[in-house]
Structure 1
Amino acid sequence: MARTVVSLTAVAGIAAGTLAGAGVAAAQAAPAQQTQPATASVFDGDVTTLAVNNLGLTVAEAKKLQRWLKKFHGYTGAIDGQLGTNSWKAMQRFLKKYWNYNDKIDGIVGPNTIKALQRYLKAHRGYTGAIDGIAGPGTKAAFKRMANAV
């Protein structure tokens, strides 16, 4: 119990930026990331963060994609416009079935997920870049076209 209280106090302090400037130092030292924490749950002193990675989609575009994933690829989560682990697991199932995704269905948007997505986008959504596993501007623009077409 004491460990949970200390952990929660530390998390709250860091979030507020009050623990000896930890928030400021971390912000200056850390590079910008594409993923961001969506929710955190505390159970038995452990904190788990669920990542959201919309790859440049607006909430409305991500909701369109989630509806499509729900209809065709087994997505069972909320239609909330936040592409988190469950959204990406459904996307990975789609990519595995049709676009040679050959990694774990884990909901992590890693290079193999991006490569399979790029294969789909190249075939159907005007992506002209390399199949390199990097979600650059061309990949994001084509992903946006995908979300608006489904």
Structure 2
Amino acid sequence: MRPNALGKTLAGLVAIAGLATGSVATAGVSYAAPVGTSRNAAVAQPAVASTTQNFGLTTAEAKNVQRFLAQYWGYSDSIDGQMGTNSWKAMQRFLSGIWGYTGAIDGDPGTNTVKALQRMLAAHWGYTGPIDGVAGSGTKAAFKRFADA
């Protein structure tokens, strides 16, 4: 192989490996086309952040939670088993009413939302782990018990 072709091949393989693992950051640049050449370049698109966070619930379990939220906490979106932004906004309203959630009602189940959820799960659904805002296996198991009730 010519040195220029070898460089292109290596750069292409590194880029493919980086894209295959989901990270453009790992796709290093080791070759630049000479000035004046025209090439069609592949453009990496940013990954769309997941707007659903079921914390281990099945679709049926998430539907149960959505029904609870619709009945008592103003959830008015579809009962589709996907705990998206509107589901979490309703959950945050529920958690702020009783379980010490003080953050924004923004539908983002972040650390403060999970801490309040853990307090609720510890009081009634067998959660025995730390109130740390991390939705680990204990939090997920207790959330399943809540959803199945």
Q: 1:71 to 1:112 in 2, by over 3 A?
A: same
- The separation in 1 between residues aligned to 2:148 and 2:59, in whole angstroms, is 12
| Structure 1 portions without partners, runs of 5+ | 1-19, 31-46
| Structure 2 portions without partners, runs of 5+ | 1-14, 27-46
Contact 1:50 1:85 (8 Å CA) reproduced: no
1:29 offset after TM fit, Å? 7.4
Aligned to 1:33: none
Q: How many residues align?
A: 114
Q: TM-score if structure 2 supplies the norm length?
A: 0.71
Aligned to 2:145: 145
Which amino acid in structure 2 is aligned with residue 143 of structure 1? F
- The separation in 1 between residues aligned to 2:137 and 2:48, in whole angstroms, is 30
Q: TM-score if structure 1 supplies the norm length?
A: 0.70
State how 1:18-57 maps to structure 2 within 5 Å. Answer: 21=16, 23-26=19-22, 51-57=51-57
Aligned to 1:68: 68
1:26 offset after TM fit, Å? 1.5
Aligned to 2:39: none
Tell me the SS of whatever aligns to 1:51: coil
RMSD, aligned CA: 2.2
Aligned to 1:104: 104
Which amino acid in structure 2 is aligned with residue 142 of structure 1? A
Aligned to 2:135: 135
- The separation in 2 between residues aligned to 1:97 and 1:118, in whole angstroms, is 15
1:23 offset after TM fit, Å? 3.6
Aligned to 1:77: 77
Whichever of the two has the greater Rg, that structure is 2
- The separation in 2 between residues aligned to 1:124 and 1:132, in whole angstroms, is 18
- The separation in 1 between residues aligned to 2:78 and 2:57, in whole angstroms, is 17
Which amino acid in structure 2 is aligned with residue 26 of structure 1? G
1:74 offset after TM fit, Å? 0.3
Judging by fraction of residues, say which structure has more strand.
1
